[in-house]
Structure 1
C-alpha cells in the first residue's frame, strides 16, 4: 500500500491494481488536487477484494473513497461536478478518518510482500554438460533430401561425443541422451518421443527455428513449478508495464520499456519457460498458467515487435508471437484457442490449432472455458481487481473478471427504453462458447452479472420476451506512445 503525504486530517482511499490505466488516471487526477492518496493494490491484498465489493457493489477497479464517502470508479471521479469535488476535498482536509472508513491492509507497508515470489535460479545439474556440447563443434547443418536443418545433430553424434569426451560406454551414453531429452534440453527435429543412437536429427531448444521470443538462450536453471513461474513472470511484466504508462494512463512507452534493465531480467526469466513440465498440470493449474503467460506474451510481443496497426498485422501478431513452453512452441492463437478453448477454431481460422498427432493437444483443456475471455485482455473502462491468476480459487477469480467486464457499458449495455442489449464483439466472435444462440448468450450473461440495476433491467427485458441483441465495434487502437 502506497501513500502520498499531505496536510489532511482525512484520507482518500483508492483500491486499484498495478498496470491498470484507469487506476492511474484516477490517482493522477487526485494528486493534481494535492490530495494524499492511500493506494491499496487488491491484487496484492486479495483478502480485501470481497470487503470492497460488499462496500461498493462493484467488481471493478479503481474504487475511490473520500473518507467514508464512496465516489465510484475513474469515470465517476471525472464526471463529478466541480462544486461536489470541492466539497469532498474540503471534507478530507478538515475531517479525520471516521470509524466506518473503508478497510486498509493489516500491514501498512508493501515491503512485507515485495520480495515474495522472486525467482532464484538453481543451476540444473546437466546445464554445464549441455554447454560443453553446444560449443564442441558437433552441432551444424544436416541435409535430409532437399531440406537443410540448421543447428542440428544426430543421435549418433551425441553418443560418440559422450563416449569420447566423458568416457561413457554406449548404453550409458544413450541413457543420458534420453535423460537430456526428457529434461527438455533438446527435441527431435521430426517429432520423435524417444532418443536413439541413429541418424535421427535433434536440436537444442534454445536453437528453436520458429523465432519464439524466449529462444536463443539455454534454460540453465532447474525447472520451477509452472504455475509459480507464470505468476512471477506476470507480476514482473505488470510492474514494467505500469512503470512505463504515461501519467494519464492512456499510453505505454514500449521503446523505453525495451531499454529497461528490468525488461532484460524479464526476458531472462521467460527463457525458463522452455523446460517447464506441462503434462501433470491440473485444469486449475493450466488455466492460471496459460492466462498469465498469454497476458505477459502480449506485452512482450508489443515491446519486441511493435503494436499491430491493421487487420493483417493483428493476424500475424496472434499467429506469430510465441513462447517455447515445455519443449513446444505456443503462439498467442495456440494458447487461447488451442489450450484454453479446448482446441476450437479461432477467428478466421480454417483448421483447429492442434491436429490429432500434435503433442500440444495433450495440454489442451477438454472443453472451452468461456470465462477466460475476460481474463486475457482488459479493454473496458474498469479492470477486474485481479491481474495475476493463481490455481487456488481460479474459478472465483475468473468469475470476478467476468463481473467486472459486464459492469462496464463497453462490455454490456442494457437499453431498457429501446428493449436492446448491446454487447462487446467478444460475445459475437465466441458465441459458441456461451451457448451458440442469443437466448443462451443472454442467459449466460445474466447468470454471471453481479447484483446491480443493470442486472435487474436485463432480467426485465428477458422476461418481456422482446429483446434485440447487437454488438458494439471493438476498439483496436494502439496504446503505444510511438
Structure 2
C-alpha cells in the first residue's frame, strides 16, 4: 500500500511539474514590447524603439536568461501552442538583442553579417541545451520540426526590417498564439505596400517567394499558394474576377523587392 501511495505521489508531482512548465511567464517580454513597439497604419507595420530596449537592457537580458533555463525535456512536454509561442518570442527577443550589439551604429540587420556569414547564422543563442542561431530557431525548431507546419509563423517572426511583417506589441502565449497569428496574417495581407494588384498582376511580398512551400503543405487544406490567397481574398481586396483567375492559376503573381532597412523608430 505504501508503495502504491508513493508511486501515486510521484505521478501527481510529475503531472504538476508539466502543468507548471507549460505556464512559462512571458510577462517581462510583453512589458518590453508594450513600452518599445509602436504600431502604425492600424497595426499593419511597426516601429521599434531600440534605444528604449537598450535603456532596459537588464530587463531584456533577464528575460533571455529565463528562456535559456528551460530544458529540452520541459519544452517537449508542453502543449504545441505553448511551444510555438515560446519559440516565436525567443526568435524576436534575441533578434532585438542582436541589433543592440551594434545599436545605434547600423542601418540594417545585414550590417551585423559578413562576407562569409549572415547575421541569422551566428550561433549566439543558448536555448534548449544548445548554442543556436536565429536560423536554427526558425528553420529547425519551428519550420523543420514537423510539429507545427503553420505558415502563419512568417507573419510573426520578425527580422528587424521594414519589409518584415509588423512586430506585435504583445507577447505570444499558449492561449493567444492562434488568434494573434490570425491577426498578424490579416494585417500583413491588408498592407497594400506589401501586397497589391498592379495592372492585372498580383504583387506580393518576397516572403511568399522564399517560403512558398510552407503555404503548400496542406495546412487548413491549402495545397498551393493560390489556395492560401483565395482563402484570404478579402484581406487582399481581390475582385471576383481575380479570385477566379487564382482558382484557375491564371493570375500572374510577382514578388516585390524586400526593404532590409532597420524598422527603428525615429529618435
Q: TM-score, normalised by structure 2?
A: 0.70
Q: How does 1:279-428 map to 2 (within 5 A)?
A: 279-306=76-103, 307-310=108-111, 312-313=113-114, 315-320=117-122, 322-341=124-143, 343=144, 364-366=145-147, 368-377=149-158, 379=162, 383=166, 387-415=170-198, 418-428=199-209
How many residue pairs align between the two structures? 227
> Are the equivalent residues in 2 in contact too, given 1:419–1:466 (CA < 8 A)?
no
SS at match of 1:443: helix
Distance 2:85 2:113 in 1: 30
SS of 1:411's equivalent in the other structure is coil
- Contact in 1 for aligned 2:29/2:63 (Cα 8 Å): no
**Partner-residue secondary structure (3-state), 2:75:** coil
Q: Deviations over 1:243-302 (max 9, x none)?
A: 9xxxxx9965645642x2x32122123212222131212211111111111111111111
| 1:265 matched residue in structure 2 | 59
Structure 2: how far apart are the matches of 1:320 and 1:327?
A: 16
> Where does the alignment leave 5 or more consecutive residues of structure 1 unmatched?
1-223, 244-248, 344-363
Q: Distance in 2 between matches of 1:381 and 1:278?
A: 28
Shift of 1:474: 0.2
1:432 Cα deviation after fit? 1.1
CA distance in 1, matches of 2:109, 2:175: 34
Query: Normalising to structure 1: TM-score of the pair?
Result: 0.41
CA distance in 2, matches of 1:381, 1:268: 26
Please state whether the residue corresponding to 1:373 is helix, strand or coil. Answer: helix
Structure 2: distance between partners of 1:225 and 1:387: 21
Which ranges in structure 2 are unaligned for 5 or more consecutive residues? 1-19, 39-44, 218-222
Q: CA deviation at 1:226?
A: 5.8
| Structure with bigger RCO (C-alpha 8 Å, 6+ apart) | 2
Partner residue of 1:454? 238
Shift of 1:365: 3.9
Superposition deviation, residue 456 in structure 1: 4.0
- Return closer, same or farther for 1:393/1:332 CA change in 2, 3 Å cut-off: same
Greater than 6 Å deviation, 4+ residue runs: none
| Larger Rg belongs to | 1
Give the Cα separation in 2 of the matches to 1:328 and 1:339.
Answer: 12
Alpha-carbon shift at residue 411 of structure 1 (Å): 3.1
Residues 384 and 459 (structure 1), Cα distance of their counterparts in 2 relative to 1, 3 Å cut? farther
User: In structure 1, which of residues 418, 435, 439 is the aligned counterpart of residue 216 of structure 2?
Assistant: 435
CA-to-aligned-CA distance 1:99-135 (integer Å, 9 cap, x gap)? xxxxxxxxxxxxxxxxxxxxxxxxxxxxxxxxxxxxx
**Are the counterparts in 1 of residues 80 and 147 from structure 2 also a CA contact under 8 Å?**
no
Judge conservation of contact 2:123–2:131 (CA < 8 Å) in 1: no
Q: Secondary structure at the match of 1:454?
A: coil
How far 1:459 moved relative to its partner?
0.9
